[in-house]
Amino acid sequence: MAQAFTVALVQNRAGKHMDANIAECSDLVRQAHAQGADLICLPEMFSCLHSSDGQLHVGPHPEDSHPALQHFSNLASELGTWIQPGSVAVEMPTKKLRNRAVMIDPTGALVAQYDKVHMFDVDLADGESYRESEVFESGDEAVLAPTPWGLVGLTVCYDLRFAYLYRSLAQAGASYLTVPAAFMRTTGKAHWHVLLRSRAIETGCYVFAACQWGSHGDAVTYGHSLVVAPWGEVIADGGDSGGVVMAEVDPAQVEAARAMVPALRHDRSLRSPKPVSVGRASG
């Protein structure tokens, strides 16, 4: 059985200037490490996020020269800790971008990378509209990252609404799920807590969800970075301001939750539903 460990979630409010965002998050990572964190998670687009006049600024770079990935790889090595640096915008040969999450081990090596599969293309109330697919292209692969405590399923933000992804990660061996996010305040108030708790309950996994907070030009994110236990209880909530939230993680709780409700063992494959024709009653 894996040993208990401490997870920390960084909650920042990124702007246009990558150097400033990296410096702020670096300070928060050091703070978390000083408080005993073994795994430190950051939000989606923590290194650059600003929206104005319909333009989304996310600071894209090729992966092998991305300043944020280079910085936190070096920092993980310096501190000797695991870092899941949220997600960053990575330039692709197609000229589009990928919203990429990685896991960095204590030597500074990238041990896994995941490209966000589901694009946030929505029209909300009061004219609030987002078209992530105009900037990003989708990934097409679910990814598990190895850690000393077990496998971690990597996901990003809007993926949260697609339960099948989390189910597949749990069925493949994940005990923990990361959901770095820049969840909008409108949808966050309505759905953030209930969706994260649902993903934990459905899979019997711990869920680590670091989320940005506050205004980024025209966009406003929700905050409330959460750690959710496998039984569905929220054990840490970052509220609606910046900082670090920490929680103790007991891997035994994963097995305990799955033993009480062994739903993963009860999955069944079903034939696709067929439309049913309903005739009008005669006479």
Tell me which residues are annotated as active site.
44, 116, 157
Q: How many CB atoms lie within 10 A of CB 166?
A: 24
In this structure, are residues 215 and 33 in contact, taking their beta carbons and an 8 Å threshold?
A: no
Q: 82-84 and 39-41 as β-strands: parallel, antiparallel, unpaired? A: parallel
User: Which position has the token pair 């989304």?
Assistant: 56
d(CA 100, CA 174): 19
Write the DSSP assignment of 182-197 as a string of letters: --BHHHIIIIIHHHHH
d(CA 220, CA 185): 6
> Structure tokens of 274?
């067929």
Write the DSSP assignment of 11-53 as a string of letters: E----S-HHHHHHHHHHHHHHHHHTT-SEEE--BTTT--EEET
In this structure, are residues 62 and 98 in contact, taking their beta carbons and an 8 Å threshold?
A: no
